[in-house]
Amino acid sequence: MSKKFFLSPKLVIGMLVLFCTLGVISLMNLLSLLAGNGGRIGVFSMFGFLIFGTVFIVALRNRIEVSAGKIVYENKEYYNTDYTFKIVQEAIDQSFTQRPLTDLFKKYYVNLIIVERNSGRVVERLKLNGMFGFQRRKLVALLGIDYM
């Protein structure tokens, strides 16, 4: 059984909520331009059609696929026999002013770390902060690893 997990569903939901307002404004701006009674292409048109589309596609492509014995991330396959998988909760060591706006009050980051068995080298470090808690629990259950 194979299951896909999006690493940033919170971002996608936030973008969709934002698009409900800015998308309508962008569409109205575009229609007024086409009708000839609008002014110019403004910030709302740029956001609604170019920037939003790009960010939305990038957020949807940021996913992992977990199946029995392997993880696929960005077309790379990490097999359970060659790699170990750990989910680690790390404390944020940045000061309050240097944190991103979305994580101002968070105290911990949750990362999925993929380590090569032979050399002990960290191959991938995936941030799981954008995932919901129930998705993270499903991921832990599918991987069969211990997590807090």
Taking only the tens place, the pLDDT of each residue in 20-48 is 777 777 777 777 777 878 666 666 566 66
Which residue in this structure is represented by tokens 């191959």? 123
Distance between CA atoms of residues 24 and 139, nearest Å: 36
To which H or E segment does residue 118 belong? Answer: none
Give me the pLDDT at residue 118, please: 93
Give me the pLDDT at residue 41, please: 66
Assigned token pair, 51: 């920037």
- For the entire predicted model, the pTM comes to 0.70
Give me the pLDDT at residue 39, please: 65
Cβ distance 77 to 70 under 8 Å? yes
To which H or E segment does residue 123 belong? Answer: strand 122-127
CA gyration radius, the chain:
20
Give me the pLDDT at residue 5, please: 85
- Please count the other Cβ atoms lying within 10 Å of the Cβ belonging to residue 111: 16
Which stretches of the chain drop beneath a pLDDT of 50? none
| CA dihedral sign of residues 96, 97, 99, 105 | positive
To which H or E segment does residue 24 belong? Answer: helix 9-35
Distance between CA atoms of residues 101 and 148, nearest Å: 26
